[in-house]
Each structure stands twice: as C-alpha cells, then as structure tokens.
Amino acid sequence: MNLTVFGIGYVGLVQAAVLAEVGHDVTCVDVDAEKVERLNQGIIPIYEPGLDGLVRENHAAGRIRFTTDAAAAVKHGRILMSAVGTPPGEDGSADLQYVLAVAEVIGREMEAPKIIVSKSTVPVGTCDRIKSKIAGILKERGREDLAFDVVSNPEFLKEGSAVADCMKPDRIIIGTGSEKTEKVMRELYAPFNRNHDRIIMMDVRSAEFTKYAANCMLATKISFMNEMSNLAERLDADIEAVRRGIGSDPRIGYDFIYPGLGYGGSCFPKDVRALIKTAEGVGFEPRVLKAVEERNDEQKSVLFEKINRYFNGDLKGRTFALWGLAFKPNTDDMREAPSRVLMEALWQAGALVQAFDPEAMQECQNIYGQRDDLLLCGTKEAALRGADALLIATEWKIFRAPSFEQMREALKAPLIFDGRNLYDPEVMARHGLEYHSIGRKA
Ligand code: UGA
C-alpha cells in the first residue's frame, strides 16, 4: 500500500521503517532539509537499536524514501500518517502548530480521496480540529467533492526498544467512525495482526484519550513506587523486598514499579502535564495527576539531597563520578533526564562532575557545551578517577557488574550513591564500599 509519513522524528521514522519492512511503499516528508538529505545518504539522526539497518535496507530496496516535497508526498499516499511533534506550550498544554500545519498542507495539496492518520500524541478533540481545518481549505478550493477521513492511531513504542515494539505491538488502537476506513486500516496493519488479533477499534476521541490514559497510568505507577521508597527509608524497610512482594500479585505486576530518580524522557512528563491542562480546561480537578507530577519533580532531587546531607552541604570543589546521562538505558535521549537535575544541582553547589554514558555523551556536550565543571570521560573507569563518590543515574547494563576492587581503588573514597538500585547492599558492604541507594537502608 502507498503510504506517506509526515514528520521524521522518533515515532515517524521507526513506524515508517517498520511499515516499509513489511512491504508497504513509504514516502517520508519533513521540513528539515538537512535531516532529509542525511537520511537519503543513510545517516540516521537518532540512536535506536536495529533502526539503522532497517532504514538502510528498505531505502536500498526502494521501499522508503525521504523528501521535503510535501505536494509529491501528499500525492503518493493513499494513507497520510502524521507523526509530527506536539511539544509542550508555555502553559504545559500540547502545542498543535505542527499538527495543524500538516493538515493545512494536506488540505491544499490533495487531489484524490485520502485517509489521514494521526500518530502523534494529541489532546482529545484534535482529530476533529484536523478535520475541520482540511474541510475549510477544501471548501476554499471549491473541492468539497474530495472525500477524506481522519483516524486516531496512537503509537505506544518505547525508546530503546522502538523497532521491536513497532514490529510486535501489544495493541493497535484505531479510532474511526467509518467502516470503509476501518477496512483500509486493517489492511495496513494486517502484517502485524497475524497470530492473534491486536487491533482494538474504537471511536476517535476514545483512541486519542487512550494514549494519555496509558502514559499517565504508567507514570502513576512510578510516582507511587517512588513515594513508597521515600516512606520505606523512613520506616527502615527495604523497597526492593516490597517491590518483589507486591509485584507477585498479577493485578499489580512487576513492570513499572522500579523506584528511582523519577521518570524523564519526551513522553511521560509532557503527557502528564498536558492531561492536567486538558482536565482543567473542562473544569475538572485532576488530583491524582497533579500528585504524580509533584512527586516526580521532587524525586529528581532525591539523590542530590542524600549527597548534600552526607557532606553537610560542603560540596564546593568536590569531584563526583556520574554514571549515566540518558533518561533511561538504550537511548541517547537526555530530555527531562534526572541526570540533568542532579548535575545542575551539583554545579550550583560548586562541585565538578566527571561523567560517562555509553550513548549520550554527544548529547550532553550539545546541551551543556564546554564548561570547567564538566568532564566527559571516555570510559566508566576514567570517570571514577579521584572522585569523592560515584553517582549512578541510569541503569545501563554495563554498570551492573563492574569490578568493585578497581572501583574502590580509583575513587578517592569508597562511596556510592545509586539512584537506580543496581547493587546488593550486602555485596557492597563486603567490598568495603559505603552504599546509599533508593528506599533501602543506608
Ligand atoms: C513511554 C511509554 O512507555 C511508551 O509506551 C509510550 O509509547 C512512550 O512513552 C510515548 O508516549 O511515546 P519512553 O518514554 O520511551 O516510553 O520510556 P519508558 O521506558 O516508558 O520510561 C519512561 C521513564 O520512566 C524513564 O525515565 C524510566 O527510567 C522511568 N521508569 C520506568 C522508572 O523510573 N521506573 C520504572 O519502573 C519504569
């Protein structure tokens, strides 16, 4: 099937590559000419396991192409998928300028019936706005004869496993009121729906809301667990034992109950804030969501507070090794990463940070540039040299089993503050390392 994807960001590029891989003919369009040019040369703008090969192979096979030519792109696709960004506006609500700009281009350029699929995370009611925008333009053009439909088809991929998530989705949510559109959408996703039925059909507004409800539910689990971890510390209990104890209840489950430094990334923080705005916009007080956000904001400072308390507020001139900059493993993304709050607080207090991350070093450099109090180290071992303590902000696999002997020798003092509970406190004690973690006895 001929398909066009607007917006070659995370969601757009992964979804386009996966749809090309199963045999669809995909044109990707973006306003960023440099990005388009690089993609046509096989340079992938993001780090995502498996994506490079997928894009290159399908590009070479002629099933995917990248362009800035919106008119040709509109012409190409029977389905026009919009995956442009919905960044937070100043008040936290989703900024729809890119979504509506795509609608405008489609309205101006379409010459045949189209199905417009909204992939971006958009507030309930956005598909209706897209619909009236396109209808308005078609009216101006005197082309009300051109039929079109707007479908909500939110994306649930996770950074770091985006390709796998897209290849084998838990569910495919399709919001449409039209049987004809449903048939085409089922055809589009048929390759992903073979062994068991993953498609869940619903109305447009419920599909838009499902995306927010899913992310906010997951964010709620995390904030709840972080709250429990703070309480466990004060009650002399061990949150890791509690986690295993409650996770074994299938109604709770083991997923997304890991305490840590709070959720980051491009989705949870933005979506929780946006849903709060949406709720307030309809005169409803979202008490749970507000608490989820507040707990998360505070959680990002928990490790700094432990460090500051330990050193009695005397951090000036001290050096800290920091393992992990990305907001989670397997990505180079540092958007809303807890590591940033930690580093910035340390700098504010006059400390030096020696940081290492397997993928996010360049990103860190892009964000903070050259500064005297940040040393980006080539290896995790180099970051330890002469530091007053090791701090852990991201649970990358390569941090899980380091040589504790080497660690003790390299650090100035045998001291660890772990924001991700990577190690067993008893093992740390055996290695003569003083270990502070989240929700466990010091
Ligand atoms: C999230 C959702 O998991 C996806 O389903 C969704 O499609 C995506 O947002 C989106 O809306 O586009 P993502 O932001 O890539 O995906 O990352 P997650 O793996 O969900 O992690 C989010 C944050 O929660 C990370 O900072 C992670 O460290 C934190 N987290 C996660 C915890 O602190 N504890 C946990 O138990 C799980």
Ranges 91-95, 195-199, 418-422, 430-434: which has the least confidence: 91-95
Residue owning the nearest CA to atom 3 of ligand 1:
158
Confidence class for position 94, pLDDT limits 50, 70, 90: confident
* CA–CA gap between residue 151 and residue 149 (Å, rounded): 6
Pairing mode, if any, of strands 389-392 and 172-175? unpaired
Between CA 358 and CA 376 the distance in angstroms is: 11
Residue 220 annotated as binding? no
- Give, in order, the Cα–Cα distances in Å from 115 to each of 1, 196, 433: 12, 25, 60
Cα angle value 145/148/151 (rounded, 5°): 165
Closest CA to 353 of 331, 396, 332, 324: 324
pLDDT in tens, 320-359: 999 999 999 999 999 999 999 999 999 999 999 999 999 9
Q: Which two tokens stand for residue 147?
A: 């039929």
**Cα–Cα distance between 271 and 88 in angstroms, integer?**
9
Tokens of 164: 């796998």
Burial label for 104, CB within 10 Å (0-12, 13-18, 19+), is middle
Beta strand spans in 133-240 (E): 148-152, 172-175, 199-202
CA distance 266 to 46: 14
Superfamily name with CATH number, domain 300-436: NAD(P)-binding Rossmann-like Domain (3.40.50.720)
Q: Is the CB of 396 under 6 A from ligand 1?
A: no
Report the CATH number of the 2-202 domain: 3.40.50.720
Number of residues assigned to the chain? 442
267 is catalytic: yes
Q: Can 2-202 and 300-436 be said to share one CATH topology?
A: yes
One-letter amino acid at 392 equals I
User: Among 79-93, 104-118, 381-395, whose mean pLDDT is lowest?
Assistant: 79-93
Q: What is the pTM of this model?
A: 0.93
Mutate to test the pocket of ligand 1, among 220, 267, 438 (most ligand atoms within 8 A of CB): 267
Residue spans of the domains in the chain: they are: 2-202, 212-298, 300-436
Q: What is the ipTM of this complex?
A: 0.95
Catalytic site residue from 166, 267, 364, 377:
267
> For 212-298, CATH number?
1.10.1040.10
> Which amino acid, residue 257?
I
**Model confidence band, residue 442 (pLDDT cutoffs 50, 70, 90):** low
Q: What percent of the chain has pLDDT over 90?
A: 94
For residues 13 and 31, give the distance between their C-alpha atoms in angstroms, rounded to a whole number.
14
DSSP 384: H
426-434 contacts at long range (C-beta below 8 A, 24 or more positions apart) = 428/404, 431/404, 431/405, 431/407, 432/408, 433/404, 433/407, 433/408
**Residue 68 known to bind ligand:** no
Segment 212-234 shows an average pLDDT of 98
Q: Is the pLDDT of residue 441 over 80?
A: no
47 is in an annotated binding site: no
256 in contact with ligand 1, CB cutoff 6 A: yes
What b/e readout covers 130-156, taking b as 16+ CB neighbours within 10 angstroms? bbebbbebbeeeeeeeeebbbbbbbbb
Q: What is the mean pLDDT of residues 133-147?
A: 97
Q: What is the pLDDT of residue 419?
A: 98
pLDDT above 90 (res 181)? yes
The rounded Å distance from CA 332 to ligand 1 centre is 14
Mean pLDDT within 245-271: 96
Atom of ligand 1 nearest to the CA of 121: 11
CB burial of residue 327 (10 Å; 0-12, 13-18, 19+)? buried
Distance 121 CA to ligand 1 centre (A): 14
Sole residue written with tokens 């972080």: 226
